[in-house]
Amino acid sequence: MKGTRILLATVLINLALGWLFLASAATVVSDSELKSLLPRLEGWQFQEEPQFFSPGTLFEYIDGASEAYLSYDFQELVVAQYQKNGTETVITLEIYDMGSPLNAFGIFSSERYPDNPDLNLGNAGYLEEEVLNFISGRFYIKLLCYNGGEETADYLKQFARLVEAGIKDKGKLLEVFRFFPPEGRVKNSEKYIKKNFLGFDFLNHGYIVLYRHNQVEYEGLVIDCGSPAEAGARLQKLVDFYAGEKSPFLKEGSRYHQKNAYGQHVLLGQAGGYLYGFSRVPEDLLPLAVKQFDRLGQALAGRR
C-alpha cells in the first residue's frame, strides 16, 4: 500500500512537471500587446487559442531557425490559426516582436530574396503564392494560407492590412541604404546584419547591398561603429588580421585594397564612425567599384 502511494505521488509529480514544461513552451497571455494585433474577422474562427513564445521557448516552435531570430534580439511571438467557416481554408498568422524596427528589418531581410514580388504594405513586404511576409515598426508579420484557392492572395492581404492597421508606431526604412550608389544595385537586396559581420565578432551593425553587372555580383557594405575612434580601431584590427596572410590589405591613399585567393578585390575605408567598402569585386569591374567606393565614402562623410 505504501509502495502504491509512492508510485501514485511520483506519477502526479511527473504529470505536474509535464504540464509546467508545456506551459513554458507555449503560453496564452491575455494581457500581451501582441494579442491586441490579432484580427477578428466575421466568418473566420480561431482553430485554437493563440500561442505565445518567449526567447527561451522559441525553439519549440521554429527549432533550428530560432538562433537567427535570437541574434536579432527577438522578444516575443504570437501564433494564431484561423479557419474560414464552412471551408478547409486555414491561415496561420505569426507576429514577431523584434524589439526595434532595425531588428525587424534584419531578420526580414535575411529571409527575403530579391526576386520576391514586392507588396506595398508596411515598411517592406512581399507576397508569393501562399506566403505574405512584411514588417511594420518593430514587428515582423508572416502569413501562410492553406486551401485558399483563387482567393488566397485576397485572404492574405485582408489579414495583413488588419494587422498593420493596429500597429501604432510604424517606423521607417533605414536611412543608411540611400547612401549606396544606384548603378547596378539589385532591388530588394538590402540586408542588415546585427552581429558577427563578415564572420568577425568585433564587427557588428553591418549593412549590405548587392550589385550586379553582366550577370556578375559583388557587394557594397557599411559598418556602423558608433564613433570615429571605434571605426579606426576596428579597421586596423581587420587589416592586422590579414597582415600575415598571403592576401594582405595594402594601403592606397585613404583606402585599403586586398586581392583575395579567388582573384576578387576588396576595398575598405573609413568615413567618420563608419567603415565602408566593396567585396567580391571581379577584376574587370574593379574600375567601376573604385568609383562607387569613392561615391559611397563621400556620401557617408557628408552625413550629419
Average pLDDT, the chain: 89
- Residue 10: pLDDT over 80: no
Domain 24-165 has CATH 3.40.50: no
Q: What is the DSSP letter of 249?
A: -
CA pair distance 152, 131, nearest whole angstrom: 9
- Mean of pLDDT values over 257-264: 92
Cell 505504501 -> residue = 2
What pTM, to 2 d.p., does this model score? Answer: 0.85
pLDDT recorded at residue 60? 94
Size of the chain, expressed as the number of residues it contains: 304
Residue type, 184: G
| Residue range 222-240: mean pLDDT, rounded | 96
| Fold agreement (24-165, 175-301) | yes
- Tell me: the pLDDT tens digits for 188-225? 999 999 999 999 999 999 999 999 998 999 999 999 99
| DSSP E strand boundaries for 147-282 | 191-193, 206-213, 216-224, 250-252, 255-259, 265-271, 274-281
So what's the pLDDT on residue 68? Answer: 95
Please answer whether residues 134 and 164 qualify as being in contact, where contact means their C-beta atoms are separated by less than 8 angstroms. Answer: yes
* pLDDT attached to residue 261: 86
Average pLDDT of span 81-105: 96
Instruction: Report the 10 Å Cβ neighbour count for 53.
Output: 24
Fold of 175-301: Protein Transport Mog1p; Chain A (3.40.1000)
pLDDT tens, position by position, 14-66: 434 343 333 334 444 444 789 999 999 999 999 999 999 999 999 999 988 99
Give the per-residue pLDDT at 236.
Answer: 96
Grid cell locating 85: 467557416
Q: Does pLDDT of 142 surpass 90?
A: yes
Tell me: pLDDT of 11 over 80: no
Which sequence spans correspond to the domains of the chain? 24-165, 175-301
Q: What percentage of the chain reaches a pLDDT higher than 70?
A: 89
CB-CB neighbours of 40 under 10 Å: 9
Q: What is the pLDDT of residue 265?
A: 97
**Could you identify the residue written with the cell 508545456?**
22
| Predicted local distance difference test score (pLDDT) of residue 304 | 53
